Amino acid sequence: MDDEIEVSSLTVHYETIAALIDINVKIKKGAMTAIIGPNGAGKSTFVKAILNLTKKTSGVVSFFGKSFEEMKDNIAYVCQTKEVDWGFPITVREVILMGSYARANLFGKYCQKDLKKCELLLVKFGLFDKRNALISELSGGQRQRLFIARAYMQEAQIYIFDEPMAFVDFTTSEMIIESMKELRDSGHTVICVHHNLDEVKKEFDEAILLSHHLVDAGPVHEVLRKKNLVNAYQAKDSILTDAFILSKEKECGLV
């Protein structure tokens, strides 16, 4: 109980569209868990719903026996880079330091220790030359590394990544996987939405396979069985979601 993130009967609708239907799953503490599934299967929605960023239709999530509000300060979430405005007037250094804002004083002044840590992270993620540049000057890979550096700065227990490998170069994706492993090895819980099954097989411990509903969850080699994958990726009929949509539409008086 206290060493799991427990998701029970989680259902999420976007207006009338059922994105996730009755997900019951446990995520192990201190493991690296990949969330996989075809495009539009609700992977990002799943992550957002457990983080209260999307409204849940129903369901309860507990983090090591505590509620989200209680654990909020111990969770670092790395969103997809396309979700923020990259034309915003803010420098690379400022974004990384944001991670330690919870420890800053009322005026937003950061302490010496955090400033020093920021310098180290700038070097670690290859952003030192760009530290005073505006974020609009960064490439796709650098943007992702920037967000991961910010998450490091948060010193959280749980790290949640949403498709960090999308649109990044080879060096960056290597760097990301290494830092995830590093986090796991130092006892943190890592959850990552991922689309590359080969990499999941190679690097991750656990997997959750979603296709609007939970197809399977558990150790990677068990989840990535052919039967499951056929079920998730090749099932052509969409009757499951269609029926749920129809039910919701009738309920709202739309049809």
**103 vs 225 by CB, closer to another protein:** 103
**Which residue's structure tokens are 């915003």?**
88
Q: Which is nearer to another protein, 1 or 106 (CB)?
A: 106
Minimum distance from residue 237 beta carbon to another protein (Å): 28
Burial of 33 (0-12, 13-18, 19+ CB in 10 A): buried
Residue closer to another protein (CB basis): 93 or 117: 93
Cβ 170 to another protein, closest distance in Å?
A: 8
Nearer to another protein, 107 or 227 (CB): 107
Q: Indicate the residue among 236 and 253 with the shorter CB distance to another protein.
A: 253
Which parts of this chain interact with another protein (CB under 8 A)?
Answer: 15, 53, 72-73, 75, 77, 79, 83-85, 88-91, 94-95, 98, 101-102, 104, 106-108, 134, 150, 169-171
Task: Tell the smallest beta-carbon distance from residue 107 to another protein (Å).
Answer: 6
CA–CA dist 87, 91 (Å, integer): 11
Q: Least distance in Å: CB of 61 to another protein?
A: 15
Side-chain half-sphere exposure of 101, counting CA atoms within 13 A: 11
Degrees to nearest 5, angle at CA 233 with 232 and 238? 75
CB of 52 to another protein, least distance (A): 8
Q: Are 102 and 151 in contact (CB under 8 A)?
A: no
| C-alpha 111: how far from chain center | 28
Question: What is the rounded (10 degree) CA torsion for 124, 129, 133, 136?
Answer: -70
Beta bridge partners of 192: 34, 161
